[in-house]
Structure 1
Amino acid sequence: MIAFSGGVDSSTLAAVCHEILGGKVVAVTAVSPVYPQEEVEEAKKVAKEIGIKHILLETNELLNEDFVRNPENRCYYCKKELLKSLKSLAEELGFKAVFEGTNYSDLNSHRPRFKAVKEMENVYSPWAENGFTKEEIRTIARRIGLSVSDKPPLACLASRIPFGEKITLEKLNRIGKAENIIRKITQAKQLRVRDHNGLARIEVGRDERQIFFNTKIMDIIAKELIELGFKYVTLDLEGYRSGSMLLTLETAETPRRKLPEIG
């Protein structure tokens, strides 16, 4: 059984396993308030592209109080809940192991979710355990012709909320709707709307920032997001960077992006 998000790591893993095992493998995608619905639809398309059997599994991390209080290791609780659900389904369907897509590059960053993987029996991370980096996985995906080979990294909607600030369904829905609006208007490929207690901080890929330097686009986005309930709407001039929310921690040691010299 493959934990299948539709991202490049899990999709490539699913494609390789399906090539080797055929009908003896199944891909399972979690359907939850913390995951954008568009990603679920994307996962359906990729599973069809691969030709693998695909199952949608409903989960609700908001029932876990540890997750909802949003501590620094929030991802641990989220991953633990997901893996428990996957293992239960695997046992029910007669599968002996669950594979998930953590890669070797992930081990060098703030990834408390991997601790949950190591704690679970019969759950494996083939990419990480065999030293495959993100770029090597993308190379494999390109060689086998996967449409998601260059897809930007995924993250659940809860990652847009500062640590320590309670995660609610209302916030998740607002963030998801905001990202949908911005994506439709700008076609931005790499996008996060960080919700700082009602202030929307928009992060997009560094080469996509110039899309926003248009008064009409700025006016439309501001109006739409304010109507969703945001008090302020801002663009992060540094652009998207993984782990930017770690800077909200008092003990944060996350380095800032090195910006180019000016002048």
Structure 2
Amino acid sequence: MLKSLRLNLSMTEQMNSTNSKFSKIERLFRGKKVLVAFSGGVDSTVLAHIAKQSAAESKLLTIDSITFPRTELQAAKDVAKELDIELEIIQVDELSNKDLVNNPVDRCYHCKKELASVWLKTAKKLGMNLVVEGTNASDMEGHRPGAKALEEAGVISPFRDAGITKDEIRVYAREAGLSVANRPSMACLSSRFPYGTEITEDRVRRIDRIEKEVKDLFGVECVRARFHGDLVRIEVGREEREKLFDESKLDELYRISREAGFLYVTLDVFGYRTGAMNEALEP
């Protein structure tokens, strides 16, 4: 009885703490004209939902570039309609940026610096006075040079600043009835390349093609096609690996990858994990 009471009290305290964190964001948005950097994922969707409820005005901005998967662009459009918030889509030629093409260890810094510049210019054009994006507290683990670029530019990361984790964001999304509550995280296609490997339009399109076909053919929600020269290493969500443990499906995976221009195909036996390409940086 006492143990149960303590557990209930602990859960109540945790809920109150989480609610308090989200309340900070509501206060931040109050009276502001908020532009949300929007990908259609759970983080930016929840941020947009809060902005619509709390801000004087809210708009969404999606960057359409070669490294943003085509399926994700359509998903962003669909979620924007679900939220009933105006969506601006701006095309950016990321591969004109040599700091991104050369793919150094701090690639994300250069990418986010460029994106932040576009967000801020667009906000000024639209008459918005606060630019926010969805980095959360869980994202700050490991190698995150992009966060530095956002801070330098003056783009606000409300979830990170309030100490809100990915799990807390998903709980909010479920309680708000948002369709993206359980949607897997997605990173730009540049993250599929080992540092130091040149990023080209052809290589990006090949990777994007494989990931789309794996999702369509096998019903996999989380997939990463990692580029290693003539070899492609395919990761799927750990709980989804069994969907590919079949000879005919493995043959299909081989066919898809060969048609995308790879000589060798491997399925990562561990499965997807965030920041897989950063493992080479670890001592």
Into which bin does the TM-score normalised by the smaller protein fall? over 0.9
Amino acid at match of 1:27: L
Amino acid at match of 1:57: I
Show the counterpart of 1:258.
none
**How far did residue 21 of structure 1 move?**
2.5
Partners of 2:160 and 2:113 lie apart in 1 by 18
Q: Indicate whether 1:212 and 2:244 are aligned.
A: yes
The match for 1:96 among 113, 129, 148 is 129
Partners of 1:33 and 1:47 lie apart in 2 by 21
The match for 2:84 among 51, 60, 63 is 51
Question: Which of 1 and 2 has greater Rg?
Answer: 2
Show the counterpart of 1:5.
39
Show the counterpart of 1:39.
72
Partners of 2:165 and 2:280 lie apart in 1 by 28
Q: TM-score normalized by structure 1?
A: 0.92
Question: How far does the alpha carbon of each residue in 1:84-142 deviate from its partner, in whole angstroms, 9 at most, with x for none?
Answer: 01111111111112100011111122211100111013x21111111111111111111
The match for 1:109 among 142, 146, 150 is 142
Show the counterpart of 1:28.
61
Show the counterpart of 2:274.
242
SS class of match (2:173): helix
**How far did residue 63 of structure 1 move?**
0.9
Show the counterpart of 1:138.
170
**How far did residue 45 of structure 1 move?**
0.8
Partners of 1:132 and 1:107 lie apart in 2 by 11
Question: How far does the alpha carbon of each residue in 1:158-216 deviate from its partner, in whole angstroms, 9 at most, with x for none?
Answer: 10011000000010000000111111111111110001012110101111111111111
Amino acid at match of 1:239: G
Partners of 1:47 and 1:194 lie apart in 2 by 29
SS class of match (1:55): strand
Question: How far does the alpha carbon of each residue in 1:136-163 deviate from its partner, in whole angstroms, 9 at most, with x for none?
Answer: 1111111111100111111011100110
Q: What is the percent sequence identity of the aligned residues?
A: 43
Amino acid at match of 1:60: D
Show the counterpart of 2:3.
none
Question: How far does the alpha carbon of each residue in 1:231-253 deviate from its partner, in whole angstroms, 9 at most, with x for none?
Answer: 1011000111111112334xx24
Partners of 1:26 and 1:198 lie apart in 2 by 42
The match for 2:111 among 78, 86, 110 is 78
Q: TM-score normalized by structure 2?
A: 0.86
Partners of 2:121 and 2:199 lie apart in 1 by 26
Q: Which runs of 5+ in 1 are unaligned?
A: 254-263
The structure richer in helix per residue is 2
Question: How far does the alpha carbon of each residue in 1:8-61 deviate from its partner, in whole angstroms, 9 at most, with x for none?
Answer: 100000011011226x11001110000101101001111111111111111121
The match for 1:148 among 180, 189, 199 is 180
Amino acid at match of 1:144: A
Show the counterpart of 1:233.
265
Partners of 2:245 and 2:82 lie apart in 1 by 37
Amino acid at match of 2:260: L
Amino acid at match of 2:143: H
Q: Which runs of 5+ in 2 are unaligned?
A: 1-34
SS class of match (1:148): coil
Q: Indicate whether 1:19 and 2:53 are aligned.
A: yes
SS class of match (1:124): coil
SS class of match (1:6): coil
Show the counterpart of 1:159.
191
Question: How far does the alpha carbon of each residue in 1:58-94 deviate from its partner, in whole angstroms, 9 at most, with x for none?
Answer: 1121111111110111111111111101111111111
SS class of match (1:234): strand
Partners of 1:137 and 1:30 lie apart in 2 by 22
Structure 1 segments (4+ residues) deviating >2 Å: none
